[in-house]
Homo-oligomer: A and B are copies of this chain.
């Protein structure tokens, strides 16, 4: 948390009550991937007058600072989660039957990255989503 506060102030942002609450929501939802609207609903328990515009602005800033990951699955909206401290975002497998999302190791793409670097690119980030049928759904 201290770590996060540092990043915020380094980015030139103040830790307002609203931002604090939104951060707490993200920390309390470990393992989930929340949409802006979902963040708003939960955050309003602590800050009832919170506006959706502030949620969008805050999530955007936090993602820009690397504090959050911002991912779009197979639907029209973005979802957010607290970032781990890896260099790049981790990746996901989504089950096309039950919709559950599974996390993948961050390092999985390292060899691919190497290959691309060799061709003269500088890799900044990468996004991978795999669509699959999960072990459980496979049993039916």
Residues of A within 8 A of B (CB): 72, 93, 95-96, 104, 108-109, 111-113, 115-116, 119-135, 138
Contacts and interface: CB of A to CB of B under 8 A. Distances in A.
Contacts of A122: 132-133, 138
A132 B128 contact: no
Contacts of A123: 130-132
A132 B127 CA distance: 12
A121 B135 contact: yes
A131 B138 CA distance: 33
Nearest to A139: B120
Contact of A127 (B112, B124, B129): B129
A126 B121 CA distance: 22
